A = this chain, B = another copy of it.
Amino acid sequence: MIQANTLRSFTEQIFGAIGCSEADARLAADVLVSADLRGVDSHGVARLPGYVRLYDNGRLNPTPAIKIVHETPSTAVVDGDRGLGLVVGPWAMQVAIDKARVAGTGWVAVRNSNHFGIAGYHALLATDHDMIGQAMTHAAPLVAPTFSLDKLLGTNPIAVAIPAATEPPFLADFASTAVAYGKLEILQRKGQPAPLGWAQDADGQPTTDSNAVKNGGALLPLGSDREHGSHKGYGLGAIVDIFSGVLSGANYGPWVPPFATAGFMSANEGVGVGTGHFFGAMRIDAFRPAAEFKNHMDTWIQRFRSAKAVAGKQVLVPGDPERLMEAERLQAGIPVHETVVQQLEHLGERFGLKL
C-alpha cells in the first residue's frame, strides 16, 4: 500500500524533472493519482513511465504554449502544442466552463495533445460550477468495427458528470468497448483466458485468448457482436473519434498515434495533428433553476439506488463504485502492483528521486 500523497509527490517530481512547470506537474500528478484512488489502476501512475517515454521520443512538449486557435461564443478549438493531455485537458475544460458562463454552454475540440488520463476527472471539473461536464477522447486503434478485421478505433471513452443537491454528482465514465484493454492485460499477466465477447481473433472470430489483440485480433465494441448491438458500440466509438479528431483537426481512426506504452501499434500520422479530445460544459440554469434541477437529481439518484435488486446485489448509480473506492483508498492507501512499483523506482533512479 502506498499513500496517495506519496504517489502524488513522486509523480509531481518526475514531471518536474522532465521540465514541466511546478503548476503543470502538480496538476498532471493529481489527474494520474485520482485514477489510482478511484480504482482505475490502468490509467494512474502505472502510465507514468509511458508519459516519460513520450518525452524521450520527442512527442511530448513539457512547456507547451496551449492556445485557442478558433472560437465562437459557445465553441473553441484548442491546440495543445504537444503538451501532456493531463494538463491540456483541464485547460480546455476551463475554456468550456468560461464559454458556458456567458453563452449557456461551451464546447471545445482539442488537437495536438496526448493521452489525458481518465475522462471523468475533466468532466467533474464542471460540476463545481453548477454545470454538466462532458469529456471524451479517442485513442490508438485497438478496436474492430462490427465485421471488420482492421482495428480502426480506440477504446474511446466518454464521461458525463451531473451535479446533484445532497447526493454526490452522477458520473458516468466508460469506454465504448465491452471492456477496457487493461482488463485483458490483467488476464495476460495471470495467464488466464478472457470471457467470450471481449475480443476477436485474427479472422474476426470470437475468442477467449487474452493475447488475441496482440496476435492480429481486436477488442470488440460495447455490445460484443452484431446480435447484441456491437454496431451501437461501434457507432458510439465513431462519434467520439469524429468529435475528438475530425472536428479538432487531430488525427482520427487508424491514424491516431499510440500511447507510448503500446509497442504493437504503428505510429502513422498523416491526416491531422496529434491526439484529440472533446469537452463540453452546460450551465444548469441555462435550462432551469439549478437548485430545482439538483433536487430532482437527488430524487433520480435515490430512486435508482433504492431499486429492488437481484439477490445478493445492489443497484448502483454511475460514479458510486469509484467514489466508494476513493474513500477506501484515501484511508488504506493504494495497492500499487509490484511491477509498477519497480518501474517507478527505476524511473526514480534515473532522476535521483525516491518513491
Contacts and interface: CB of A to CB of B under 8 A. Distances in A.
Interface string A227-261: 11101111110110110001111001110000000
Given A204-B310, A318-B234, A152 B303 contact: yes
A79 to B, nearest CB: 12
A48 interface: no
A203 interface: yes
Interface string A130-155: 00100000000000011111101000
B77 A287 contact: yes
A309 B148 contact: yes
A175 B232 contact: yes
Contact of A296 (B229, B246, B297): B246
Nearest to A241: B300
A180 to B, nearest CB: 10
A195 interface: yes
B229 A222 contact: yes
A316 B271 CA distance: 21
B246 A203 contact: no
Contact of A308 (B149, B238, B249, B284): B149
Copies of this chain assembled into the complex: 2
Contact of A315 (B148, B300, B303): B148
Contacts of A203: 310-311
Contact of A179 (B229, B284, B300, B311): B229
A105 B106 CA distance: 9
A88 to B, nearest CB: 17
A232 B222 contact: yes
A307 interface: yes
A77 to B, nearest CB: 5
Contacts of A316: 146-147, 231
Contact of A228 (B73, B160, B224, B284): B224
Contacts of A249: 288
A162 interface: yes
